[in-house]
Structures are given as structure tokens and as C-alpha cells.
């Protein structure tokens, strides 16, 4: 009789006691609903940018990372479209293609060097900046990064891009292209600053990818790969949801 009573009590306790999964869910929910501290917001935004930058650089620095991505592929310089058209018209399509491919490969090479530059900029984000960014648009953190690092990134990227352009023969291709074009009768000579063009295009492309990553972290719980991201952006979701009702 005593054995049966013990079994019955244990069974009742089992039914009353939540499972480990339930307890973890309850704990996470309670933690998410707790007010965020300023330090958590700052750490969460910095971590979101680190994750976004890591993912963006990984994508853009791989072979054909720019070339095969329609969002960031670097086209023939717009101010030199007449050069492209003229060369295509005289059967030099292959030279144009090689130039465009090499230009994008230069951006891919430069992109691989970007992580440390971005991370240094992130470390300078203040708590006031972070609180404002958290309540901002889907790309508020990326806009902040663009606004505060634009000139520094350009200065740091320029020599990297210049070396990359040389390493994949873009400079030679451009020299061949402009030489061929400028020999066409009655055309105005063209001299485009390739280093500046590719530098700006490479940086803009990186920011496009970082903005996509930021939006994904804000909107998709599966993209929040660690506890601080779940805590900060989960709490933000809960706040926005309560305000909408």
C-alpha cells in the first residue's frame, strides 16, 4: 500500500512540475520582458553590428561576392557609358567584360580587409547613440556607422582598393580600354578615377549588405545568434507590439 501511495505521489508531482523545456521558455520570456538597461542596449547594438559586418564581409569577400550579387555588383562607370557603348560597337565586348569582372574582383579583395576598420568604429558607439538606434529604422545602426565612418573608411579603403585593382589588372584593362576609345575619331578623351569609383562602390556595397543583416536581426528571431541579441531585440519586439495595441 505504501509503495502504491509513493508512486501516486511521484506521478502527481511529475504532472505538476514543468518540464525543463517549459522552464527554459518561461525563464527566457521573463528575461525578455524585464526592462532593458542602457548597457544591454549598447552591447546588443554593437553585437548586432559585429554579427552583421562579419556576415556581410564573408559574403562580399568570397570569389564573385560582388560580381554575382545584383544588389552590389559594380557596373561600368556611369560617366563612361559612352566608352562601353563605343567599344561594344567596334567588337571589343570581351575587353569590356574582362574589365567589369576585374573591377568587381578588386572590390572583393578590398572587402576582405574591412572587418577591423568597422569593428574599431563600432567600439566608439556611445550609450546615447545606442538608445537612439534601437528605436530607429531597420537600418538605423548601419546609417550611424555610415555617418560616423565614411571619411575614415574612404581613407583606409583607397590604398587597399588601389592595390587590389593592380593585383587583378584592372588598371591595365582600363588603360587598354581608354586607349582604344580615345583612338576613335572625333571622340572626347575619357579619364575616370577608377580607384575612387571602385572605393566608393565597394564601401556602398558593404553597407547595403550590413543593412540587410541588421534588418534580418531586427525582424527574424532565428538570426539572433546569441543571448544578448535575443534579449535586446526580443524586448524591442515586445515593446513595439504593446504600443501597437
pLDDT digits (tens, 9 = 90+) for 117-156: 888 888 888 888 888 888 888 889 899 888 887 887 788 7
Using a pLDDT cut of 70, give the percent of the chain over it. 81
**Band (165; pLDDT cuts 50, 70, 90):** confident
Give the residue, 74 or 20, on which the prediction is more confident.
Answer: 74
| Sign of the alpha-carbon torsion through 226, 232, 238, 244 | negative
More confident: 245 or 221:
221
Model pLDDT for residues 170-191, shown as the tens digit of each residue: 777 788 878 888 888 887 887 7
Ranked by mean pLDDT, the top range of 17-21, 93-97, 140-144, 223-227 is 140-144
Mean pLDDT of the chain, nearest integer: 78
Nearest Cα residue to 199 out of 82, 96, 109, 83: 109
How many angstroms separate the Cα of 181 from the Cα of each of 101, 174, 221? 19, 10, 53
CA distance 114 to 59: 12
Task: Give the model's pLDDT for residue 240.
Answer: 44
Cα four-point dihedral sign 172, 160, 51, 35: negative
Which pLDDT score is estimated for 7? Answer: 47
Q: How is residue 32 written as a grid cell? A: 525578455
What's the rounded Cα separation, in Å, for the pair 169 and 162?
Answer: 11
Q: Where are the domains of the chain?
A: 40-244
- Torsion angle of C-alpha atoms 237, 228, 115, 67, degrees rounded to 10: -40
The model's pTM is 0.73
Contact present, 139 and 218 (Cβ < 8 Å): no
In terms of Cβ atoms closer than 10 Å to its own Cβ (0-12, 13-18, 19+), residue 94 is exposed
Q: What is the pLDDT of residue 3?
A: 53
Residue in the structure block whose three cell numbers are 502527481: 12
Q: Which residue has the cell 505538476?
A: 16
pLDDT at residue 237, as a whole number: 55
Amino acid at each position: 500500500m505504501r509503495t502504491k501511495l509513493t508512486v501516486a505521489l511521484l506521478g502527481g508531482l511529475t504532472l505538476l512540475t514543468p518540464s525543463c523545456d517549459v522552464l527554459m521558455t518561461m525563464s527566457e520570456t521573463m528575461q525578455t520582458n524585464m526592462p532593458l538597461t542602457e548597457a544591454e542596449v549598447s552591447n546588443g547594438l554593437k553585437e548586432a553590428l559585429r554579427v552583421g559586418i562579419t556576415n556581410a564581409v564573408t559574403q562580399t569577400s568570397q570569389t564573385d561576392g560582388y560580381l554575382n550579387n545584383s544588389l552590389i555588383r559594380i557596373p561600368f562607370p556611369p560617366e563612361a557609358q559612352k566608352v562601353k557603348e563605343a567599344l561594344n560597337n567596334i567588337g571589343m565586348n570581351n575587353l569590356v567584360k574582362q574589365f567589369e569582372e576585374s573591377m568587381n574582383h578588386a572590390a572583393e579583395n578590398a572587402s576582405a580587409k574591412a572587418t577591423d576598420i568597422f569593428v574599431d568604429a563600432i567600439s566608439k558607439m556611445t550609450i546615447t547613440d545606442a538608445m537612439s538606434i534601437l528605436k530607429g529604422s531597420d537600418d538605423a545602426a548601419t546609417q550611424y556607422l555610415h555617418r560616423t565612418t565614411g571619411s575614415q573608411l574612404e581613407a583606409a579603403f583607397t590604398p587597399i582598393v588601389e592595390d587590389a585593382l593592380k593585383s587583378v589588372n584592372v588598371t591595365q584593362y582600363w588603360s587598354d580600354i581608354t586607349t582604344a576609345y580615345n583612338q576613335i575619331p572625333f571622340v572626347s578623351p575619357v579619364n575616370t578615377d577608377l580607384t575612387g569609383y571602385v572605393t566608393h562602390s565597394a564601401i556602398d556595397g558593404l553597407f547595403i549588405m550590413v543593412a540587410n543583416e541588421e534588418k534580418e536581426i531586427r525582424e527574424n528571431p532565428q538570426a539572433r545568434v546569441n543571448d544578448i541579441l535575443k534579449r535586446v531585440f526580443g524586448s524591442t519586439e515586445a515593446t513595439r507590439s504593446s504600443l501597437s495595441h
